[in-house]
Structure 1
Amino acid sequence: MWRLLFGAEPAAEPADLDRPAGAGRRSGLRVVGAGPSGEERPTLTELYHAHRLGLVRMAVLLVDRQDLAEDVVQEAFTALYQRHGETLDDLDNALGYLRTSVVNGARSMLRRRKTAREYVPPHVADAASAEEHAVLNDEHRRVLVALQELTSRQREVLVLRYWSDLSEAQIAETLGLSRGAVKSTASRALDALEKQLEKVR
């Protein structure tokens, strides 16, 4: 199942639980506060180019539509710019801030759609764009279907842990949970996801 989800087994929980958010494999940029003292901080534009697609991929797994995921991520970057500007000099963990904003935006999006989803058929794109193929291949589409059968909290924990490669401590901070709650939620969610994936084979 792990290869289906992310292409490899998940890494063990890092020993350094205070590593900066985004220090995992997919980060193409040093996160604020991650390097030696005095290292130059990334600008909002640099963060956008380095992490936008990864955040969209994460959001797609939460809201199940690429167009809505792109809106959520765009709103997160816009809010960050409005609050802190381009240089982000007064923000210690810009990528962590963005992840939290995307999760909260996805929650709001799903709340707004909850009633409508009972009456509107699921969205099916007429033709996938080249970028959409980069975001979701066939295997990820199967995972997407299975993820939507989990609770929102289970889905968030799995996406942050195994897609965004965050530690339990980072997930706890992002979602406002205890580490124990993150661990127990992840365990139950994995069991549920395995059962759902069997149904969509």
Structure 2
Amino acid sequence: MDLRVPLWQPRLARGNGEGRTVAVSDALEEEFREFVAARSAALLRTAYLLAGDWATAEDLLQTALTKTYLAWKRLGGIEAVEPYARRVLVNTATSWWRRRWHGERPTDVLPEQPARDRVQEQLDRDALWRHVQQLPARQRAVLVLRFYEDLSEAQTAALLNISAGTVKSQSSRALATLRRRLAAEQAAERAAEQAAGVPAPSARPNGPATGPRNPRPAAPSAPAGPPAQRPAATGRGPAAVPGTPRVRPDLPTPAPVVAVPPAPVPAIPASRVDA
């Protein structure tokens, strides 16, 4: 949607039923066109916050600008035209809110959210916006003018044609309702997570979850049986160690090896060496 294109076009006012048209002053019409081209985008955003969807916001803005133009033509111009148009827009939205059908309607927030791949701040903003849409029309208008349009209590009271005390009370009640509903929604989400077995954020580990480590296999135990008996002592020496080959007693014992010293080398006579 191109917000640079004005959504409003002036219409020629009809006369007293005879079909005669009354031409609007060119200067006043051009001045109002400039106002619409400059501020229609901002007024459309305000209408969206009041209505909740862009299609209804465009209809509300079209109606509000038409009413403002008729007053502009009747009064020969309005000095503070933007506050006047915003007040007409809020009144138009309030009237629409009271008679609207509480059934299916377009919305920017789907009932089934995708995976939690957004930042928590965006999720909180979506939840807050859903609860703002459920507020009464007067409380919703006060919140939009006070905290979105950043108007003072006196300016908000003048636009809504109520007292400053009413602005304070409506704002306080709306904020208290939002806090209570958001707290209840968060408590319900925590209860659902606990019922599903999902640990609380404080109890969840920081690192990736790991399974239990496999214990080392225990050494195989010896089969059950009677206790081993020690061999009887004999006079032939120490008992044989189990697992070593036994020496057969019928084989002859080899004779001991005697080392023979080498024969001495005869000395060479000195005469042989001198020769």
TM over 0.5: yes
More helix by share: 1
Q: Cα distance, 1:78 vs. partner?
A: 1.7
Which letter maps to 2:179? E
In structure 1, C-alpha distance between the alignment counterparts of 2:70 and 2:125, rounded to whole Å? 33
> Which one of the candidate residues 91, 94, 106 is aligned to 1:123?
106
**Change in CA separation of 1:187 and 1:80 when aligned onto 2, cut-off 3 Å:** same
When the two structures are superposed, what TM-score results if normalisation uses the length of structure 1? 0.62
**Gaps spanning 5+ residues in structure 2: where?**
1-27, 109-121, 190-275
Does residue 153 of the first structure (1) align with residue 141 of the second (2)?
no
**Gaps spanning 5+ residues in structure 1: where?**
1-40, 126-136
In structure 2, C-alpha distance between the alignment counterparts of 1:104 and 1:179, rounded to whole Å? 17
Aligned to 2:83: 96
In structure 2, C-alpha distance between the alignment counterparts of 1:80 and 1:145, rounded to whole Å? 31
Aligned to 2:95: 108
SS in 2 for 1:53: helix
Alpha-carbon displacement from aligned partner over 1:80-121 (angstroms, at most 9, x marks no partner): 222314xx85312111111111111101212231xx32xx32
* Superposed counterparts of 1:49-68, under 5 Å: 49-68=37-56
SS in 1 for 2:40: helix
Task: Look at both structures and tell me which one has the larger radius of gyration over its CA atoms.
Answer: 2
**Change in CA separation of 1:95 and 1:138 when aligned onto 2, cut-off 3 Å:** farther
Does residue 71 of the first structure (1) align with residue 56 of the second (2)?
no
* Superposed counterparts of 1:1-201, under 5 Å: 43-85=31-73, 90-113=77-100, 116-117=101-102, 120-124=103-107, 141-198=126-183, 199=185
Q: Cα distance, 1:138 vs. partner?
A: 7.3
SS in 1 for 2:44: helix
Which letter maps to 2:37? H
When the two structures are superposed, what TM-score results if normalisation uses the length of structure 2? 0.46
In structure 2, C-alpha distance between the alignment counterparts of 1:105 and 1:138, rounded to whole Å? 30
2:47–2:93 Cα contact (<8 Å) kept: yes
SS in 2 for 1:43: helix
In structure 2, C-alpha distance between the alignment counterparts of 1:138 and 1:90, rounded to whole Å? 45
The two structures, once aligned, show a CA RMSD in angstroms of 3.0
